[in-house]
Amino acid sequence: MWLQEVILEGKEVQLIPLRESHCEGLLKAASDGKLWNLWFTSVPSEANIDTYIQTALEEQKVGRALPFTVIDKKTNSIIGSTRYCNVPPTQKRVEIGYTWYAKSHQRTAKNTEAKLLLLSHAFETLQCIAVEFRTHIENSASKNAIARLGAKQDGILRQHQQLKDGSYRDSVVFSILNSEWNAIKQKLENRLN
């Protein structure tokens, strides 16, 4: 398995390997904005936090994911979660997904820095050929944030996933290629500075 646990650290945030002991901190972060009520994304609530963490850790064990807990370095508190996911076993590609932040930390430099850390690790350490992002077609905030990173829209996967209520999610797919990384990295670093 080529995905190994790692700590990614910037000025504002630290991404540490997800652990069951992060349950309380994740719930506190998700309660800032009651994020579990957003119908177009999957943020854990008290009812499903154990399953959320267990599923992420099981996916990690079989090499399909590498989940992180996002820590605000100023307060040393948990502010969200993200992960490499949907990792094919024989291709040097990852998806960055399952990303969410406490409401008070959304649209801040923390998300940009976390994405810079994840993308740098993917392209420079893991030697990925591409990094993918997927989001619900109705999640405008997420689509805009992904586009601001410099990712290009590849297409739409219609009826990509069936949701808990029986409806289907259309997923918008974006990607960044390794040949595009240097220019995007410079853009993100300039934005943070």
Q: Comparing C-alpha atoms, which of 70, 86, 57 is closest to residue 7?
A: 70
Buried b (16+ CB within 10 A) or exposed e, 59-70: bbeeebbbbbbb
* Tokens 């502010």 -> residue: 79
Give per-residue pLDDT as tens, 158-193: 999 887 788 898 999 999 999 999 999 999 999 998
The domain defined by 8-192 carries CATH number 3.40.630.30: yes
Residue 163 has a pLDDT of 77
Task: Give the mean model confidence (pLDDT) for residues 120-135.
Answer: 97
181 with 123: CB under 8 angstroms?
yes
Give per-residue pLDDT as tens, 83-93: 999 999 889 99
For residue 140, how many other CB atoms are within 10 A of its CB?
11
Task: Give the mean model confidence (pLDDT) for residues 53-62.
Answer: 96
Q: Is the pTM of this model over 0.85?
A: yes
> CA end-to-end span of the chain, whole Å?
35
CA pair distance 131, 181, nearest whole angstrom? 10
17 with 9: CB under 8 angstroms?
no
Residue 28 C-alpha from the chain's centroid: 18
Single-letter amino acid code for the residue at 89: P
**pLDDT over 70 (residue 37):** no
3-class state of residue 48 by DSSP: coil
Residue 142 has a pLDDT of 86
Q: Where are the domains of the chain?
A: 8-192
- Where does the pLDDT of residue 35 fall: very low under 50, low under 70, confident under 90, or very high at 90 and above? low
CA pair distance 109, 173, nearest whole angstrom? 23
CA pair distance 3, 58, nearest whole angstrom? 14
Lowest mean pLDDT among 37-41, 129-133, 154-158, 170-174: 37-41
Give per-residue pLDDT as tens, 74-119: 999 999 999 999 999 889 999 999 988 988 888 889 999 999 999 9
For residue 176, what are the β-bridge partners? 131
